[in-house]
Amino acid sequence: GQNIDQPTEMTATEGAIVQINCTYQTSGFNGLFWYQQHAGEAPTFLSYNVLDGLEEKGRFSSFLSRSKGYSYLLLKELQMKDSASYLCAVKDDSWGKLQFGAGTQVVVTP
């Protein structure tokens, strides 16, 4: 079956760094996405990894290891507006479906 695991909640202070881990076991793999979702809003795209390694994009970086079924999203220089849910999603082979993890709620405190 499909299984995508990520922690439920993480708390960090403004200016700090937080790393959100995601492990997956899926029937197919064609890339991994990270999305940010604020309450009551649709997800917004953060990053995409299909090859092993680190992708850096400003304050956000994402890492993938396909052999380990593992990814992380690194948020640096945390700001209050970064308080949100972060969703890990794996692109399935069939129809290109995205399988989502349950999301990690990040709480940034002053």
Partner 1 sequence: GAVVSQHPSRVICKSGTSVKIECRSLDFQATTMFWYRQFPKKSLMLMATSNEGSKATYEQGVEKDKFLINHASLTLSTLTVTSAHPEDSSFYICSATGTGGWYGYTFGSGTRLTVV
Amino acid (1-letter code) at residue 12: A
- Among residue numbers 70 through 89, which ones bind partner 1 (CB under 8 A)? 87
Q: Which of 22, 43, 62, 64 binds partner 1 (CB under 8 A)?
A: 43
Q: Which of 108, 91, 110, 109 has its CA nearest to residue 99?
A: 91
* Interface with partner 1, residue 44, by CB under 8 A: yes
* Interface with partner 1, residue 51, by CB under 8 A: no
* Interface with partner 1, residue 34, by CB under 8 A: no
Distance CA 80, CA 93 (A): 36
**Which residues fall within 8 angstroms of residue 48, CB to CB, at 6 or more apart?**
31, 32, 33, 34, 55, 62
Binding region for partner 1 (CB under 8 A) out of 20-28, 53-61, 67-75, 95-103: 95-103
Q: Which of 5, 14, 41, 56 binds partner 1 (CB under 8 A)?
A: 41
Binding region for partner 1 (CB under 8 A) out of 11-19, 21-29, 57-65, 94-102: 94-102
Residues that bind partner 1 in the complex, under the rule CB under 8 A: 31, 33, 40-45, 48, 87, 95-103, 105
